Structure 1
Amino acid sequence: MRLLFLAVLRPHTGNAVTAQRVRAHLEAAGHVCVLKDAFDFESPSEIANLILAENCEAALALHLYRAGRLLQGHRIPFGIIFGGTDVNEDANQKEKNTVMRRVLEEARFAVAFTESMKEMAQAQWPHAKGKIHVQSQAVASKWTFPFFVSLTQELQQHQMPPLTGIPFFNIQVDPVFTREVKAKVKRAAGVRLIGEMPQGDLHAVVKNCFAVVNSSVSEGMSAAILEAMDLEVPVLARNIPGNAAMVKHEVTGLLFSTPQEFVHLAKRLVSDPALEKAIVTNGKAYVRMYHSWQVEGDTYQQLIRKLEGSGED
Structure 2
Amino acid sequence: MKILFIACLHPKTGNQTTAERIRSYIEEAGHSCELRDAGEFHSPADVADLVSQNPSFKGALALHLFKAGRFLLDLQIPCGVIFGGTDINEDVKVEHKRLVMEKVLLKVRFAVAFTETMKEKAESYLVSQKTNIYVQPPGIQTEGTEHFCWAKFLRSSGVSIENVDELRVFLLVSGLRLVKDPLYLVKVFSEWHRKNPMNIFVIIGPKIDPVFSVEVETVVKSTAGVFLAQERSQRELHAAMKRCFALVNSSRSEGMSAAILEAMDLGLPVLARDIPGNAAVVQHEVTGLLFSTPQEFVHLSQRLLLDHELRERVVKNGKFYVEKHHSVKQEQKIYQQLVDILH
TM range (shorter): over 0.9
Aligned to 2:125: 124
Contact 2:63 2:83 in 1 (8 A): yes
TM-score by length of structure 2 reads 0.85
Residue type of the alignment partner of 1:148: V
Partners in 2 of 1:130 and 1:18 — Cα distance? 23
Tell whether 2:263 aligns with 1:238: no
* Map 1:13-52 → 2, pairs under 5 A: 13-52=13-52
Contact 1:212 1:235 in 2 (8 A): yes
Change beyond 3 A, Cα 1:120–1:96: same
Alpha-carbon distance, 1:126 to partner? 3.1
Partners in 2 of 1:164 and 1:249 — Cα distance? 22
Change beyond 3 A, Cα 1:95–1:130: closer
Aligned to 1:303: 338
Q: Bigger shift: 234-243 or 132-141?
A: 132-141
Change beyond 3 A, Cα 1:214–1:109: same
Alpha-carbon distance, 1:11 to partner? 0.4
Residue type of the alignment partner of 2:261: L
Can you list the C-alpha shifts for 1:219-239, whole angstroms capped at 9, x where unaligned? 101011011111101000001
Q: Bigger shift: 191-200 or 244-253?
A: 191-200
Tell whether 2:257 aligns with 1:222: yes
Alpha-carbon distance, 1:53 to partner? 3.1
Aligned to 2:141: 140
Tell whether 2:313 aligns with 1:278: yes
Alpha-carbon distance, 1:183 to partner? 0.8
Partners in 1 of 2:199 and 2:43 — Cα distance? 50
Change beyond 3 A, Cα 1:118–1:158: farther
Alpha-carbon distance, 1:151 to partner? 5.8
* Map 1:78-89 → 2, pairs under 5 A: 78-89=79-90
* Map 1:191-230 → 2, pairs under 5 A: 191-230=226-265
Partners in 2 of 1:142 and 1:209 — Cα distance? 15
Contact 1:151 1:168 in 2 (8 A): no
Contact 2:63 2:69 in 1 (8 A): yes
Q: CA RMSD in A?
A: 1.9
Contact 1:158 1:263 in 2 (8 A): no
Residue type of the alignment partner of 1:253: G
Can you list the C-alpha shifts for 1:68-87, whole angstroms capped at 9, x where unaligned? 11111321010010111111
Partners in 1 of 2:327 and 2:215 — Cα distance? 37
Partners in 2 of 1:300 and 1:306 — Cα distance? 10
Aligned length: 306
Aligned to 1:159: 192
* Map 1:87-102 → 2, pairs under 5 A: 87-102=88-103
Partners in 2 of 1:85 and 1:142 — Cα distance? 27
Q: Bigger shift: 41-50 or 274-283?
A: 41-50
Change beyond 3 A, Cα 1:10–1:241: same
TM-score by length of structure 1 reads 0.93
1:267 aligned to which of 296, 302, 321: 302
Q: Partner of 2:62: helix, strand, or coil? A: strand
Change beyond 3 A, Cα 1:56–1:143: farther
Residue type of the alignment partner of 2:188: L
Structure 1 spans left out of the alignment, 5+ residues: 309-313
Alpha-carbon distance, 1:198 to partner? 3.6
Q: Partner of 1:4: helix, strand, or coil? A: strand
